[in-house]
């Protein structure tokens, strides 16, 4: 079972992974030594896999984001292709109606369609694509007090 301190520290890191140990301690009112010990433990036990950044892809000129759900005849070959493809941002093995679910990012529609054509070599039985309009909530688990809500520029308050 997770302690309140553990949930608080993990939630704080999800809001800002760049925070120093002393800032986390100060803002959460958890002693510095406790925060440091917990972070070390989380890293050693692979609870924290890595510290990362949420990017605004449109500011980087990547305007097309599509999530796919697929089933394939040659699952292993497709898996290897997707793991190495530059446009695949996240890839998940799933159980149910689909073999894989993955998030892709492209500069434009032409790049997307080239990617879709590259999938033809893997004997896809089913492909569902979902175009992402905007991120609404991202990396919000354990963030109790203030959800990390991502507003597009035109919706900022």
What string of DSSP letters covers 24-36? HHHHHT--HHHHH
The Cα 84–Cα 110 span in angstroms is 20
Secondary structure letter of residue 137 according to DSSP: B
d(CA 142, CA 6): 9
Q: Is the pLDDT of residue 151 over 80?
A: no
121 pLDDT above the threshold of 60: yes
- Each residue's pLDDT tens digit, 34-89: 999 999 999 999 999 999 888 999 999 999 999 999 999 999 999 999 999 999 99
pLDDT surpassing 80 at residue 1: no
- Tell me, what's the pLDDT at 2? 83
Q: Which domains does the chain have, with CATH numbers?
A: 4-44 (1.10.10.10), 57-131 (3.30.70.920)
Residues 49, 55, 56: CA angle, nearest 5 degrees: 160
pLDDT of residue 153: 52
User: What is the pTM assigned to this prediction?
Assistant: 0.79
Give Rg (Cα) of the chain: 19
């Amino acid at each position: 079972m997770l302690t309140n301190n553990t949930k608080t520290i993990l939630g704080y890191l999800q809001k800002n992974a760049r925070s120093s140990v002393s800032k986390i301690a100060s803002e959460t009112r958890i002693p510095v030594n406790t925060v440091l010990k917990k972070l070390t433990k989380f890293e050693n036990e692979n609870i924290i896999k890595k510290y990362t950044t949420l990017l605004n892809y449109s500011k980087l000129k990547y305007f097309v984001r599509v999530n796919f759900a697929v089933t394939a005849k040659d699952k292993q070959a497709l898996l290897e292709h997707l793991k190495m493809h530059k446009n695949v941002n996240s890839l998940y093995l799933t159980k149910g109606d689909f073999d894989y679910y993955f998030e892709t990012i492209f500069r434009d529609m032409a790049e997307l369609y080239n990617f879709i054509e590259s999938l033809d070599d893997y004997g896809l039985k089913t492909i569902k694509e979902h175009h992402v309009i905007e991120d609404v909530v991202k990396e919000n688990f354990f963030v109790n007090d203030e959800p990390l809500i991502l507003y597009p520029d035109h919706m900022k308050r």
